[in-house]
A and B are shown apart, each in its own frame.
Chain A
Amino acid sequence: MGVARLIAVTWWFQLKQMTKAGLFVFTSIIEPLIFATLAYYLFKAGHRPGTLLYAALSAGLMGIWTSTLFGAGGAINFQRWQGVLEPLIASPPPYILVLFPQTLAAASIGLYSLASTLIWGRLVFGIPLHFVHPAAFVVSVAVTIVALGVLGLVMGSSFILYREANALANMLEFPVWIVTGVIVPVSLLPGWVHPLSWILAPTWGYRAIHAAALGGDPWPGIGMAAALAAIYFAVGQLFLIIFERRARERATLSLV
């Protein structure tokens, strides 16, 4: 019960904190709207009117990754700058029970992206919001959020050792969008990229969401995303143990 309460309170606190930060308001709402508008005009210029819902949906999913990337990738550095990283690591609860809800909150902020791009598409461009499998859509979004939160845990734990973690986060926005097929299908990418996309949970989560919204079977994607999330959690736990210990040995926890 204590563990559940710790996770819930940390998640809620982080969510509220990020909601009030200008940077996250931009990355979770404004930036996705810009990409949704860009995708709309691009698809329209290319005469792909049947895929306008796809464009709005994909822009929202892009926003989920951006929120996760900057929130989770920056979680360690934010704590460093605030001077609370060392006390949090030294406190009794395992640090994973503090970091995971924070990365989950970062992924949850992505819901703002999804909602804003769909509403924007409906109000500004008249895109009909008809989902083929609405219940599966909700489940696939929830599973994708959790999978991204756990992927954020892996990223965040890796960044404990790196003072320039934000620089790495800056670099990973576009490549993950490319490799996970969030808007450009993986089938269009070179063959050597495909195995990389298969091991990324967002790939399967996005496929499930697209299938639930536009037609297809979302459940295989939901299953794969959930399975990969479980693997990521184990990997994240291992990384956290290793990198936390190294950071303590090198006394670099608090270095900014």
Chain B
Amino acid sequence: MSYRALFNWQSPRFYLPTMLAGPSFQVIFFAYLGRYSHVRNDAFFVVGNAVQVSAMSGVFGVAITVGGERWTQTLAPLLATPANRMALFLGRALPHILNGFVVSAFGFAMGRLLLDFRPQLASLPTLALVVLFSTTSCTAFGLLVGALGLRWRDVFTIANPAYFLMLLFCGVNIPLSALPKWMQVVGSGMPLTHGITAARKVADGASLASVRGLVGKELLIGACYAAVAYVLLRVFEAEGRRRGTLELV
């Protein structure tokens, strides 16, 4: 019950417009923008955006899960428990990985129905796996954002730029080769970049084995973000206790 209480945003009246409709419109918007700008085809934008919208759950969802504890004034009691911090926050991130996958899958479905996106049926299981790995990596990044929310009182000040900067740096809508070198370097260290590249190859018919390098990089980047998030969570927890700021909203 307490687990369900953490996810009150899953009420259909909130979930449907925020997690399904909104991201689908993002996919459609950028596909049409791509048509107008004569850059690539619909599949490029559908895959890029359908993977990226998992950040609605992976970044915003996790950020709210961690930052929301402050709003509900349960952060201090939670951190007063002797519960293992890794298990505590990774456990809270797990439903967001699954939810992010659902959001992505819906985005792909809308792309299939409304746009010129026709992946091979045989590629769908591999595509689903790549999306799941990408969502996991993105959720780890979301944990980092949530950790920063323990330090800064408004987690959305960080979550919002993080989400939208992904659209710019991660090859979601602009081919990485078209970006300046420094943006390519930044993008290569962000979640989703390698996963999106892998997903595009898989949607074109590539096998999982042929994209294992990209998937491996994606998971490695996710692991790094998870590690940094854990360290920051412990550091900010200690700082919050020392300064008495855990309950400030």
Contact = CB atoms under 8 A, between A and B. Distances in A.
Q: Do A and B bind each other?
A: yes
Interface string A209-243: 00000000000000000000000000000000000
A47 interface: yes
Given A22-B154, A26-B157, A164-B13, A42 B26 contact: no
A168 B33 contact: no
A140 to B, nearest CB: 22
B25 interface: yes
A135 B164 CA distance: 34
Contacts of B39: 42, 45-46
Given A43-B37, A44-B178, A45-B175, A38 B18 contact: no
B160 interface: yes
B160 A26 contact: yes
Given A31-B160, A164-B14, A42 B37 contact: yes
B168 A22 contact: no
Contacts of B164: 30-31, 34-35
Number of chain A interface residues as a range: 35 or more
A26 to B, nearest CB: 5
Given A177-B29, A178-B28, A45 B37 contact: yes
Contacts of A174: 22, 25-26, 28-29
Contacts, number: 95
B75 interface: no
Contacts of B13: 162, 164, 167
Interface in A10-42: 22-23, 26-27, 30-31, 34-35, 37-39, 41-42
B13 to A, nearest CB: 5
Given A41-B179, A174-B22, A23 B156 contact: yes
A86 to B, nearest CB: 23
* Interface SS of chain B: helix
B168 to A, nearest CB: 5
Contact of B37 (A46, A173, A177): A46
Contact of A178 (B18, B32, B161, B168): B32
Interface in B130-162: 154, 156-157, 160-161
B249 to A, nearest CB: 12
A171 B21 CA distance: 6
A27 B34 CA distance: 23
Nearest to B159: A26
B25 A41 contact: no
Contacts of B18: 167, 170-171
B161 A184 contact: no
A1 interface: no
Contacts of A38: 167-168, 173-174
A13 to B, nearest CB: 21
A45 B178 contact: yes
A44 B29 CA distance: 18
B36 A175 contact: no
27 contacts: A23-B154, A23-B157, A26-B156, A26-B157, A30-B161, A30-B164, A34-B167, A38-B168, A38-B174, A39-B33, A42-B37, A42-B173, A44-B178, A47-B38, A48-B37, A162-B13, A167-B17, A170-B17, A170-B18, A170-B22, A171-B22, A173-B25, A174-B28, A175-B25, A184-B33, A185-B36, A189-B32
